[in-house]
Amino acid sequence: MNSPSVQQGGQPAQEYLTFTLGREEYAIDILRVQEIRGYDQVTAIANSPAFIKGVINLRGAIVPIVDLRIKFNLADVTYDPFTVVIILNIGRRIVGVVVDSVSDVIALSGEEIKPPPEFGASFDTEYLLGLATVAERMLILVDIEKLMTSREMGLVEAAAA
């Protein structure tokens, strides 16, 4: 899609797609996004983890669909007209993730991204790039490539990423 832009201070910025999961707003690297689609029925796969909703046929390619709301243990998982699937291209593999809604694309420089807080062993922040505040909105930046290539997801081989 787009290459990094330059903000006012001359700092290179990276663009992120923002989306909501429950009451929180998240952001992922826009360069990993292939397209955004409305949520449609998926074909369930027997014995798959609960967060893997199934697969869809995307123009001849079979694409696994991950519901990030279930993966992140959010309480209310509803499917409404705002529910969308973000199609990602990670390591030459196409994966879809279900989110509550997509907000916009924003540019953030490295100085605007703060490291995630330390939670000790009680909470794993391995997949968080950091936090950013934009116009009183707190964004949680997710390393979507690291999450999708993780061993527990088992969707994309790390070597292919």
| 67-81: pLDDT as tens digits | 999 988 887 788 999
Q: In the chain, what are the domain boundaries?
A: 14-149
Two tokens at 125? 């922040």
Nearest CA to 101 among 73, 87, 80, 72? 80
Residue 3 has a pLDDT of 45
Interatomic CA distance for residues 8 and 85, integer angstroms: 33
Q: Which CATH number fits domain 14-149: 3.90.650.10, 2.40.50.180, 3.30.1330.10, 3.10.620.30?
A: 2.40.50.180
SS3 56: strand
Tens of pLDDT, residue by residue over 81-140, are 999 999 999 988 999 999 999 999 999 998 999 998 776 655 567 889 999 999 889 999
pTM (2 d.p.): 0.84
pLDDT band at residue 26 under the 50/70/90 scheme: very high
